[in-house]
Structure 1
Amino acid sequence: MAEDMTCYFPDGLPADNQNQLRPCDSDPNVQSACCIKDAVCLSNGLCYQQDDWGGRLTRSGCTVSDWSEGRCSTYCRDVARDGGINVMLAKGNGKPNGGTFCCGPFNTTTEQCTISTDEYGFDPFSIDRGYVLFPNTSLTLEDFATAHGLHEDGTTTSNSSASSSATSSPSRHGDLGLGVGLGIGLGLPLVLAVGCCFWLWRKNKRLVSQLGEKQQAAHYSPAFRPTGFAHAPPYEQRIPAGTKMAIPSTELAFRQPMPELSHEQERQELDAWK
């Protein structure tokens, strides 16, 4: 068990129980960095605190007394060798100083670290990006590195069969859950989209059918008026003034007026009978 492994400080002495250090790798055959039980292990060997001093990086312990294991931190080994130390962000004039750090506090007046190291002196230094290792006491560093391609130096570590089965079984369940989640997440919207398209198609087909029936009924209905009038307005022929029109004789009957007889008719003598 990881709890049975001993964690050492850089001076080579084991950490006492009050430090509550735990190896970051659960495999007792694998050497690794150590962090307190409430901290988060990082792939660069540092620890991310989540207790009252939350938000700080620390260099804690190592399962190898001489710190020769590459998974243990290479930062701040030569200072505070009998315990852990905070790796603090260097700030100048209230602003981050290029993402550099110090082993301990940073002096904002001198813009230098307050603790000197053999490698950097009082100058702030950069650290490698650290990837979170979850969980601290169940996932081995080797498994995490293989799955995420973090280590490219070809270093391999043989894990026990118990550890392999413990880590592979959750992976299978995780893959199954991931597949089910993806199937539901992708399949449900697709089914809804197909159903919506089918409903719109049926509705459009019904509207087209109703429109055709109305047009056919209107074509055979005598009361249908395209202009919208119930009755057509009467036709009135208007002839402009002064227009001469020839009226055919066949259309109008001509009546010649009768001449009046004169009431004074000239008397004529009749021939006498011979």
Structure 2
Amino acid sequence: MRFLMGLCVALALGSGVVAAQERRPSHCIALAEAPGVTYLHKASFRDPVAEHSVRISYIHHASFLIQSADGIDAVTDYTGFLGTTDFVPDVVTMNHAHGTHWTANPDPEIPHVLPGWGDYGLGIEHHLDLGAMLVRNVSTDIRSYGGVEEKGNSIFIFEVAGLCIGHLGHLHHEPNAAQYAAIGRLDVVMAAVDGGMSLDVATMMRVLRKLKAQVVIPMHWFESWTLEAFLTGMSDEYLIERGAGSSMTVSLRDLPKQPTIKLLTPRFLQDP
């Protein structure tokens, strides 16, 4: 009897190991050295994405459309409105720091709706493998009703076409060592630069310098002076590219010799 019980336990443990091995690991965490990115031509969000590339379109506030060459479409900080379009993404992420970062009534046709929060104080874990795109999150704390809601928001990472694309969400504190490690390598990062509603500019600049992404896309800014303060503070280490329109396409090629801030102009999606 004792032998049979031991055998059952061993089989159960073995099946757990197999299940764990079936989960595709994060290449952004696994790879120590970042490959490169090359800027390609701009295109309509309805146009096909070039092979081995990713198109990023700035929609509004903290919402971006991330599209793969294999036809996977993801929207960050989804509010329920994308523009004058009937476009339905495959996956949307949300944060609930403010109503401009989530909706209680997402389109029921969206296959994957990923909230950045779970039960109060417990956070949530996402590891959505869509084949051409892996979407995962790292929980962060948010200020809430004069206190702090632990693990109330998330940083979302999109692993696609060999790139590691991070959306910092409505970040309210500098990540700790464990959170930095969980984020892993980032090639492209969207960062809130409002200077107060999320992080102050000095702390956000410190976070970005630690993340070492080669491409930074500012978001969540309300006044031009907060944006300019951020750009000025980063200009000693980063090239500033203005007038880039509302979208950019990147691929895994050669990194720019100097990290670059790509200033995109938000624009709601619009069908032809």
TM-score higher than 0.5: no
Which is bigger in relative contact order (C-alpha 8 A, separation at least 6)?
2
Q: Under a length normalisation based on structure 1, what TM-score does the superposition of the two structures give?
A: 0.21
Structure having the higher helix fraction is 1
Q: Under a length normalisation based on structure 2, what TM-score does the superposition of the two structures give?
A: 0.21
Question: Which protein has the larger Cα radius of gyration, Structure 1 or Structure 2?
Answer: 1
